[in-house]
Amino acid sequence: MDIANKIFVVTGGGSGMGRELTIQLVKKGAKVIIADIHQKDMDDTSKIAGIDQVSTHIVDISNREEVTNFASDVIDRYGYIDGLINNAGIIQPFIDIKDLDYGQIEKVMNVNFYGTVNMTKAFLPTLLLRPSAHIMNISSMGGFIPFPGQSIYGASKAAVKLFTEGLYAELLNSNVNVTVVFPGAIDTNIMSNSGVQTKEEMDKTKAEAKFKALPAPKAAASMIDAIEKNKFQIRVGKDAKMMHFLYNLNSRRAINFITKQMAKMKDF
């Protein structure tokens, strides 16, 4: 897909990966419609990317009615969209399933999985009417290999993986291309947005992980390249690529390796 002069909806565009995706889409000549729950963050993204090319909308993607109304408003205003990037997501507290309450479980599933489903269902009818369109869903490295202390997050992202692959299969003979993304460690603020750590804990975690976290601009560039080239799957970051290889080679040993690495995070 040629990005220039296209209209994209990006969820979670107020910060982190969504902000970088918005900035780079605008640089390539697209107009971006942001859906997020933080107005100030969206305003900041809009100022950085270009106010004339970005519109902001407060939307709780886990709320089906809000998403339906948002899609109707977008179509009424613009007539159509050409692309949808389901980027918004949250992680869970770094604790085991036995200690995780149902409210936390439901929140993660509602945002990560049902939010993706809600947005896809709401915008797919108009995407099918375009000469060429694209849906990109962000899964995670945790969507193909388990991370102890993030098991529900991983389950939500595994659901996104299979949902997206099923969508790809159903749309093979249509004009809508589909991509699923498996990012590894990306230098974003997903922990603060998820509310799972104090500032001191986040600073410590970032200091320990920064050397191996891929900068968000590079990750966003890889994702946009995948849209332009209509790629089916991409793994973003050396860690995602390495763990995918190891998991396919010997899943048990790969899981044991990850378990040792996650021991530090679960101590927070």
Q: Taking the domains of the chain in order of start, what are their residue ranges?
A: 7-266
Of 81, 77, 83, 71, the residue nearest 35 (C-alpha):
71
Local confidence pLDDT in tens for the 268 residues of the chain: 999 999 999 999 999 999 999 999 999 999 999 999 999 999 999 999 999 999 999 999 999 999 999 999 999 999 999 999 999 999 999 999 999 999 999 999 999 999 999 999 999 999 999 999 999 999 999 999 999 999 999 999 999 999 999 999 999 999 999 999 999 999 775 555 545 554 444 444 443 444 478 999 999 999 999 999 999 999 999 999 999 999 999 999 999 999 988 776 555 4
Catalytic residue numbers read 153
What lies within 8 Å, CB to CB, of 95 at 6+ separation is 149, 266
Half-sphere exposure of 116 (CA within 13 A, CB side): 26
Residue 261: count of CB within 10 angstroms of its CB: 11
pTM for this prediction? 0.89
d(CA 127, CA 108): 27
φ/ψ bin of 197: left (φ > 0), alpha (ψ from -120 to 50), beta (otherwise): beta
d(CA 166, CA 4): 28
Are 108 and 92 contacting, i.e. CB atoms less than 8 angstroms apart? Answer: yes
What lies within 8 Å, CB to CB, of 267 at 6+ separation is none
Of 205, 228, 48, the residue nearest 132 (C-alpha):
228
Superfamily for domain range 7-266: NAD(P)-binding Rossmann-like Domain (3.40.50.720)
Q: Give the largest CA-CA distance in the chain.
A: 52
